[in-house]
Structure 1
Amino acid sequence: AAPAAPEVVQPTDEELERYIGAAQKVAAVAQEYQPQLEQASDDAARQQIMQEADEKMVAAVEEDGLSVEEYNGISLAIQQDAELRNKVEQMLNQ
């Protein structure tokens, strides 16, 4: 069975702050692993690097007090809701 699509949520300010902290860590992990992915010699190596990066990303999200489902739900809400996106941008600029 396919994983359930994340539910679009209306996150609280506290959840948004946790999301922002997690998102910054997730972006840092992605940046850290990008060169390794580009230099990977084959699919098996790429797969291993991606799995390691995924585990670090999950840990970063959970470290900020969110489940991966909550994180993905907030990501989706931000993509679909311009008002929410503006709010997150304002929070980032504070």
Structure 2
Amino acid sequence: MFRNTTRTAVLALAAAAFVSGPALAQEQQPQQPPQIEVNDSQLDAFVDATVEIVDIREDYQSRAASVESPEEMGELETQANAEMIDAVEGAGLQVEEYNQIAQAAQQDPELDQQIVEMMTERQEQ
């Protein structure tokens, strides 16, 4: 039960981090992504970026509670998206690669489980 909830939360946060952003909405992702091979280095970078993205989203969600205008909200979303892009690129991935790995994890239960385990390990540290 805990792992299923964790997996859902991690993937939802990771996916939501990019789906909602105007900077990344420029490219439409296909409904059925092609199967990709994810090596250990990419997986490690994906988890690093996701941990950072979760922190960024939590920070900006708390800030959004005090936003008073749509313009302010737009600026806040732009800042959050820029930080999330920096997190992905700082981890050594391109945004497209990150999104492909997230989509692959949704399609591949073994990859999904591996990500959940890595996220759990890092959150316990």
TM range (shorter): 0.7 to 0.9
Deviations 1:16-52 (A, max 9, x none): 0000000001111001111111221111110000000
Higher relative contact order (CA 8 A, sep 6+): 1
In 1, Cα distance between equivalents of 2:120 and 2:76:
32
Q: 4+ runs of 1 displaced by more than 4 Å?
A: none
Aligned length: 93
After superposition, residues 1-94 of structure 1 pair within 5 angstroms as: 3-5=27-29, 7-8=33-34, 9-94=36-121
Please provide the CA RMSD for this pair: 1.6
Give the TM-score taking structure 1 as reference length.
0.88
Give the TM-score taking structure 2 as reference length.
0.68
Identity %: 28
In 1, Cα distance between equivalents of 2:69 and 2:116:
38
